[in-house]
Amino acid sequence: EVRRGDAEIELSTKEFALLETLMRRPGEVLSRLELIEHAWDFAYETRSNVVDVYVRRLRRKLGDGTIETVRGAGYRLRGDG
């Protein structure tokens, strides 16, 4: 279960896995490859935008400031998110 304040946020299995991976290493930049390796059960083409799509979905549900894009490196969960 994921909550923001008093509101429950419904996440798909993959959205939850991605958020959990980011939460285990708050403030650390995780590459797309690292996120795929931890949140998905199988390898994706490295040029796939699957991580970008799921980050976009999470941002819509959690708020834009929660997950930060680090250009050329990956994503990180903001410490105050």
Domain range annotation of the chain: 7-69
The helix/strand/coil state of 17 is helix
Please report the pLDDT score of residue 39 as a whole number. Answer: 86
Q: What is the CATH code for 7-69?
A: 1.10.10.10
Please report the pLDDT score of residue 40 as a whole number. Answer: 80
Is 21:29 a contact under the CB 8 Å cutoff?
Answer: no
Is 34:74 a contact under the CB 8 Å cutoff?
Answer: yes
Q: Where are the alpha helices (DSSP H) in the chain?
A: 13-23, 32-39, 50-62
Q: Which helix (H) or strand (E) holds 7?
A: strand 7-9
Each residue's pLDDT expressed in tens, for the chain with a length of 81 residues = 787 788 889 999 999 999 999 999 988 999 998 998 888 876 666 667 889 999 999 999 998 889 999 999 999 998 764
Please report the pLDDT score of residue 81 as a whole number. Answer: 46
